[in-house]
Structure 1
Amino acid sequence: MKSTKKLLFAAILALVVIVGVGTCSAGLFDFLGGGSNSTATNSSLNGQEVDLAAAASLKNAFDKDLIPMFEKQYPGVKVVPTYASSGDLQSQIENGLKADVFMSAANKQMNALINESLVDNKTNVQLLENKVVLIVPKDSTANISSFDDLKNVNGTIAIGDPESVPAGQYAKEALTNLGIWDAIQGKLSLGTDVTAVLNQVAQGSADCGIVYSTDAKSNDGVKVVCEAPDGALKTPVIYPVAMVNGSEHPDAAQAFLDFLQTKEAKDVFVQYGFTIHA
């Protein structure tokens, strides 16, 4: 009987020791910053700023949803965006634009900056995909139902400038592959970015235009005629994002890059019409 009581007492004592050690270890782990509560990590970024250089087609998603979501999660961090065509942003970064994160509407501009050692390729994520579509003003009665119909347009066709605007580069590639490019040279109006093209069509100053699916979705003044036909684009419309070398706030920039890859952020991109690539 005494032996049984001793065994029972020893078992209880062992259990108390295990629980105590576990509690102490958990407390020590949290003290050292290893706990699941991310408040300490978030607060360590207080006062930092993320300077974001992003393609114009991302403006609505970032301004309306993603930046407020990130700043709520990291209340001490401010995101300062600059929007323009990816080619323009590439030039600005090459000329010293203060930027921590670059998100391009094509790999061409991202790869150029990587090759110049201005962007950290180790952080490069192929995050999103988009579609190229043909649009007309919402109240248009023009007989435009396909890319091939562009040969018969008497007015203006708006596209991004292929020299600097990825949407324009994709448009030129599609039109060239479809055998239309040479026939429409005199009808083209070249926009400084995809938003400019969208506005030309929405305002009726252009009879039609070629933009991204996400841009068309964001403006009630236009309607989509069709997507670029299969095979028209050999280059997929990929949106990469990466950290700029020499970032003044690399920890905050990395936190922002990590945030963009969360399910919550990806769901927002999908709501705006993007497809998740990564």
Structure 2
Amino acid sequence: MKVKKLSLLLALMLLTACIFAGCGDSKEEAAKSEEGGEITVLAAASLTDALNEIITEYNKDCKDKIKTSYAGSGDLVQQIKGNAPCDLFISASKKNMDELEEADFIDKESRKDLLGNTLTLIATKEAAGKVTMDALTTDAVKQIAIGEPETVPAGKYATQVFENMKITDKVEKKIVKAKDVRAVLNYVETGNVECGFVYKTDAMLLDKDKGEMVAEVKDSLHDPIVYPAAIMKDSQQAEAAENFYKFIQEDYAKGVFEKYGFTVK
């Protein structure tokens, strides 16, 4: 009889322990839910200001933390292939997104073309009067900054412009390569180069006392500038990433993108 009572007591103690353990787990899960998740977004450098503004608005009603990393799209692709954390990728080039799709890194169903942009020629305040597309091959222009063509889509578009204008051999010694479009912008603003090629969205950020946009490049001189986005196939925060992804396609986000010079698809 004593053995039965002891067995019953032990069973009750075990059941109570399980119940409390379960409650503890529930509390932890609830706390995590209250805190929100962390979404890692890797995006082209030209998206920095617009996306940061959109994230600020998003966080007013959502507790998910958005962690961002901005760089040249090609560099970001290499980071993703090297297993860097990423839930959502926004590229400034179809080619870079194609590379990830072919390597089976993205959720193919989530891929969309979000935005468009315009390639522009900018110059320092002092050089703006003499810098034109036709003047690139003349002595009036000594140095031209572009993004590194292998990793920066804007740099690749610039090289296509030179090729289609048939001036590559005449400007190649003038080229100064930068890590991304923001670096090109900085080179011009600081006077390290006379001119450079950036997106219209970057040109709009030029300090008016230091530089200005002198020309929009004809679309026929380069591949279409498209910004595709996609959720990563192995995202650990797929649901939260999808919620943010939807938000950047809604009216508020569209308005912000347009304010910064993007065209919305």
Fold agreement, TM-score > 0.5: yes
CA contact (8 A) 2:128 2:211 kept: no
Q: Tell me the secondary structure at the aligned position of residue 231 of structure 1.
A: helix
CA–CA separation in structure 2 for the residues paired with 1:94 and 1:229: 34
CA–CA separation in structure 1 for the residues paired with 2:113 and 2:204: 22
CA contact (8 A) 1:214 1:272 kept: yes
The correspondence of residues 35-74 of structure 1 with structure 2, limited to 5 A, is 46-63=35-52, 65-74=53-62
Matching residue of 1:138: 125
Q: Tell me the secondary structure at the aligned position of residue 91 of structure 1.
A: helix
The offset of 1:139, in angstroms, is 3.6
Deviation string, structure 1 residues 191-231 (Cα, Å, up to 9, x no partner): 01111111001110001000000000012232111111252
Q: Tell me the secondary structure at the aligned position of residue 164 of structure 1.
A: coil
Matching residue of 1:90: 77
Q: 1:181 to 1:212 in 2, by over 3 A?
A: same
The offset of 1:181, in angstroms, is 1.5
The offset of 1:178, in angstroms, is 1.0
Q: 1:141 to 1:91 in 2, by over 3 A?
A: closer
CA–CA separation in structure 1 for the residues paired with 2:211 and 2:54: 25
Unmatched tracts of structure 2, length 5 or more = 1-31
Residue 159 of structure 2, aligned match among 154, 165, 172: 172
Deviation string, structure 1 residues 17-70 (Cα, Å, up to 9, x no partner): xxxxxxxxxxxxxxxxxxxxxxxxxx968421110000000111122x111111
CA–CA separation in structure 2 for the residues paired with 1:135 and 1:141: 8
The offset of 1:119, in angstroms, is 1.1
TM-score, length-scaled by structure 2: 0.84
Instruction: Tell me the matched-pair count.
Output: 231
The correspondence of residues 1-278 of structure 1 with structure 2, limited to 5 A, is 46-63=35-52, 65-74=53-62, 76-140=63-127, 143-145=130-132, 147-152=133-138, 153-220=140-207, 221-233=210-222, 235-277=223-265
Q: Tell me the secondary structure at the aligned position of residue 89 of structure 2.
A: strand
Deviation string, structure 1 residues 90-123 (Cα, Å, up to 9, x no partner): 0000001101000001111111001101111110
Deviation string, structure 1 residues 2-31 (Cα, Å, up to 9, x no partner): xxxxxxxxxxxxxxxxxxxxxxxxxxxxxx
Q: Which amino acid aligns with 1:237?
A: I
CA–CA separation in structure 2 for the residues paired with 1:110 and 1:169: 15
- Bigger Cα displacement from structure 2, 174-183 vs 259-268: 174-183
The offset of 1:88, in angstroms, is 0.2
CA–CA separation in structure 1 for the residues paired with 2:117 and 2:167: 22
Q: CA RMSD, aligned part only?
A: 1.5
Unmatched tracts of structure 1, length 5 or more = 1-42
Runs of 4+ deviating beyond 4 Å: 43-46
TM-score, length-scaled by structure 1: 0.80
Percent sequence identity is 39
Q: Which amino acid aligns with 1:271?
A: K
